[in-house]
Structure 1
Amino acid sequence: MKETKAMLLTLLLRNYMHYKHYDQAERLTAKSSFPTDAPNNLLARYLYYLGHIEAIQLNYSQAQMHLLEATRKAPSNAETAGFQQTVHKIYVIVELLMGNIPERSLFRQPVLRKPLQPYLELTQAVRVGDLNKFQDVVTKYEEKFLKDDVLILIQRLRHNVIKAGIRSISIAYSRISLRDICLKLHLDSEEDAEYIVAKAIRDGVVDATIDHEKGFVQSAEIHNVYGTSDPQYAFDKRIAFCLSLYNDSVKSMRYPGSDHRKELAYAMEAIKRERELAHELENDDYDGDSDEDAMDEDL
Structure 2
Amino acid sequence: HKHLVQALRKAPQTAAVGFRQTVQKLAIVVELLLGDIPERAIFRQAPLRKALAPYFQLTQAVRLGNLQRFGEVLENFGPQFRTDHTFTLILRLRQNVIKTAIRSIGLSYSRISPKDIARKLGLDSAEDAEFIVAKAIRDGVIEATLDPEKG
> Counterpart in 2 of 1:65?
2
Write the deviation string for residues 40-97 of structure 1: whole angstroms up to 9, x where unpaired: xxxxxxxxxxxxxxxxxxxxxxxx11111110111211x2111111001011111111
RMSD: 0.8
**Residue aligned with 2:46, SS:** coil
CA distance in 1, matches of 2:4, 2:107: 33
- TM-score normalised by length of structure 1: 0.50
Q: How much has 1:187 moved relative to structure 2?
A: 0.4
Comparing both chains, which one has the higher relative contact order based on Cα–Cα distances under 8 Å and sequence gaps of 6 or more? 2
Sequence identity of aligned pairs in percent? 58
> Counterpart in 1 of 2:141?
205
One-letter amino acid of the counterpart of residue 55, structure 2 = Y
> Counterpart in 2 of 1:75?
12
> Counterpart in 2 of 1:113?
49
Given candidates 35, 38, 46, the residue that maps to 1:99 is 35
Is 1:130 aligned to residue 66 of structure 2?
A: yes
One-letter amino acid of the counterpart of residue 7, structure 2 = A
Given candidates 161, 176, 180, the residue that maps to 2:112 is 176
Q: How much has 1:180 moved relative to structure 2?
A: 1.0
One-letter amino acid of the counterpart of residue 72, structure 2 = D
CA distance in 2, matches of 1:138, 1:161: 13
Q: How much has 1:137 moved relative to structure 2?
A: 0.6
Given candidates 98, 106, 125, the residue that maps to 1:162 is 98
Q: Give the number of equivalent residue pairs.
A: 151
- TM-score normalised by length of structure 2: 0.97
**Looking at CA atoms only, which structure, 1 or 2, has the larger radius of gyration?**
1
> Counterpart in 1 of 2:131?
195
**Which residues of 2 match residues 1-299 of structure 1 at below 5 A?**
64-77=1-14, 79-215=15-151
One-letter amino acid of the counterpart of residue 6, structure 2 = E
Report runs of 4+ in structure 1 exceeding 2 Å deviation. none
Write the deviation string for residues 136-166 of structure 1: whole angstroms up to 9, x where unpaired: 1101111111110110101111111111100
Q: How much has 1:131 moved relative to structure 2?
A: 0.9
CA distance in 2, matches of 1:119, 1:102: 10
One-letter amino acid of the counterpart of residue 76, structure 1 = Q
One-letter amino acid of the counterpart of residue 27, structure 2 = Y
